[in-house]
Amino acid sequence: MTYILLHHSGCSTSRKGLALLEENGVEPEIRKYMNASEALSVDELKDIAKKMGASSPRAFLRDKNAADVGIDDATSDEAIFVAMAANPKIIQRPIGIVGKKAVLGRPIEDLLKLV
């Protein structure tokens, strides 16, 4: 099965996660979701949450950027998914996806759970 890595090359944790995978013999398919041409849709984000076993997008919301786009404790999950699709900087990274499973690479060693 293909290992997909949602990756942002401007993020040191994401770069370290990619390096860890490569050191362990995993050559993931890289999805640079911050690029407009590879942006994630609301449906894709909902699917990622489901694959993580999460009931909310808050499981992979980048809290330190959430307030910048108006997300607070009262914001609905649907509004967060919409905000993530429009503002990918509020998505935590890296995220590994293999088949019907996904993990947030925080810590990066969690990415190896899918290998």
pLDDT tens sequence across 19-60: 999 999 999 999 999 999 999 999 999 999 999 999 899 999
Q: What is the pLDDT of residues 81-90, one digit of tens each?
A: 999 999 999 9
- ∠ CA(23), CA(99), CA(61), 5° rounding? 80
Active-site residue identified among 7, 8, 10, 11: 11
Decide if 45 is catalytic. Answer: no
CB 1 within 8 A of CB 26: no
Q: Which residues pair with 101 in a beta bridge?
A: 98
